[in-house]
Amino acid sequence: MSSELFADLEWRGLLAQTTDRDSLIKELKSAPTKFYIGFDPTAPSLHVGNLVVILVMRRFQLAGHLPIALVGGATGLVGDPSGRNEERTLNDESVVLEWVGNIKNQLSKFLDFDTKQNPAVMANNLVWTKPVSALEFLRDIGKHFSVNQMLAKDSVASRLESGGISYTEFSYQVLQAFDYLELYRRDNCKLQLGGSDQWGNIVAGLDLIRKVEGGSAHAFTIPLMAKSDGSKFGKTAGGSVWLDPEMTSPYAFYQFWFNTEDADVEKYLKVFSFKDRSEIERLIETVKTNPGAREAQRELARELTSMVHGADESAKVEAASSALFGQGELNLLDEKTLAAALSQLPKVSISKNEAFPTWVDLLAATGVVDSKSAARRIVKENGAYLNNEKISGEDFAPTKEHLIHGRFLVLRKGKRDLASVEVI
C-alpha cells in the first residue's frame, strides 16, 4: 500500500521533497505510521489553499496511517514568516482560541476521528508550549539551533532583504521544531507533512529530534499550488475562497471550481479529486475534445462542494447555477441560495416604494450594457429576459408579481450575461 500511495501521490504531482524515500516507504510498510501537519489559526477559517495538504492527510489516512491534526494555539500567537514580506498582526489570545475551535470543526469534515482502525486525533501545541518558561526553552531547546543556519533559511533571508524580521517571527522555526520533538516524544510521530515552503522548518525538527533524543524521523513536502498564468491560487476578485460558508457561500465556492481555466483543470483534478485515475484521465480528455461542455470543471465543482459543504448544498447551488441560465426554475430555488448566487452578479437596488423602471432602464443601471440604447437593441434582437422569460417590448416594466421571494429580479442579456435587481 505504501508503494502504491507514493506512486499515486507522484502521479498527482503531490510530492515535492522527502527524506530518504526508501527508508520512509519501509517505515510506512512496517506498521501504521503516525504523521502530522500543522495549521495555524491566522484567520477565522481555513481556505482552499489549505485543502492541498488536508487532502494529502486524507490520502495517508485512507492508506491506513494515523493523522495528527496539529492546531497552532501557540504558533498562531507568533506568526510564520514564510511567504510574507512583512510582520503579521498579532491577534489577542481569545481570538486565536476561537479560531482554533473553528479549524478543529472544519478538519473534522476531511479526517475520520471515529474509525476504530486508524483514527485521526487533534493536538494543540499550546498544551506543551505554554507551561515551558522562557529560560527552560532557551536552555533545553534554543541551545540546539545555529543562528547561522537559521539566517540561511529562505523565509528568513527574504525577509532580511526586504527590510528585516522581528525576533518573534524569527523564532517561529524553533517553535515548529519543538512541536515535532514533542509529538515524537508523546506519540511516536515519525513523519511531518507540509507545504514545500515548510521544508526548512521540518528539517529543523528532524535535527532537534536527533540531537535531543538520538532518534530519526521523516519529512514529506507538497508543492505549493499555483495557477498556470502565474497568479495566486485560491484568490478571486472578492478575495480568498474560504471553507466557512458564512465567509464564502457554497454558491461562490462552487463557481470558483466551475470557473477553473482549461489550462488548470488537469492539475486541480489530480490534486483535489478522489476519483480513480481512469475517471480523471477521461475527464481530462473531455477538456481537449469538448471544452465547451465544461464536464471536467462541473465534476470538480460538484465533488469539492459536496466534500466541504455537503451533497445537499452542492445540489442546491448546482441547480441555482443552471436556473440562472434558463435551465431550471428560479422560483424553486430557496432564498438563501438564490441570494448567494445573485450576490456574484452586477446589481442594482430599488426602493419598494418607487415605481418599477423598465427592463431597459434596469439593465442599463446594472452596467451590463453601456447605454439604454444598447439595452433597447437587445430587446429588438430577442435577447432580453426577465426571470428567464423573454421580454418582447422596449417599454416592458416588471411588477411586484415578478419578484422572486418578494425581493429579487433576474435580468439576462442573451445566453450568458446576467444581472440582478433587489427591492429593498
CATH number of the domain at 316, please: 1.10.240.10
Q: Which residue has the cell 430587446?
A: 379
Q: Which domain holds residue 47?
A: 2-222
Q: What is the pLDDT of residues 41-56, one digit of tens each?
A: 989 999 999 999 999 9
In degrees rounded to 5, what are phi and psi of residue 411?
Answer: -100, 140
- 210 and 81 co-located in one domain: yes
The span from the CA of 261 to the CA of 296, in Å, is 11
- 231 and 203 co-located in one domain: no
- 211 and 251 co-located in one domain: no
The span from the CA of 192 to the CA of 146, in Å, is 22
- 214 and 117 co-located in one domain: yes
Indicate the residue among 313, 344, 375 that finishes a domain: 344
pLDDT attached to residue 85: 67
Task: Go through 232-267 and write b for each residue having 16 or more CB atoms within 10 A of its CB, e for each that does not.
Answer: ebbeeeeeebbbbbebbbbbbbbbbbbebeeebbbb
pLDDT attached to residue 3: 80
DSSP per-residue codes, 234-269: TEETTEE-BSSTTTS-HHHHHHHHHT--HHHHHHHH
- Amino acid at residue number 184: Y
CA 252 to chain centre: 12
In the chain, how many domains are there? 3
The span from the CA of 298 to the CA of 57, in Å, is 25
Sheet architecture: strand order including 389-390: 347-350, 417-423, 408-413, 384-386, 389-390
Cβ-contact 295, 283 below 8 angstroms = yes
The distance in angstroms from the start CA to the end CA of the chain is 59
pTM comes to 0.89
pLDDT attached to residue 46: 96
pLDDT attached to residue 310: 96
Stretches where the chain sits below pLDDT 70 are 1, 83-85
- 76 and 211 co-located in one domain: yes
pLDDT attached to residue 1: 56
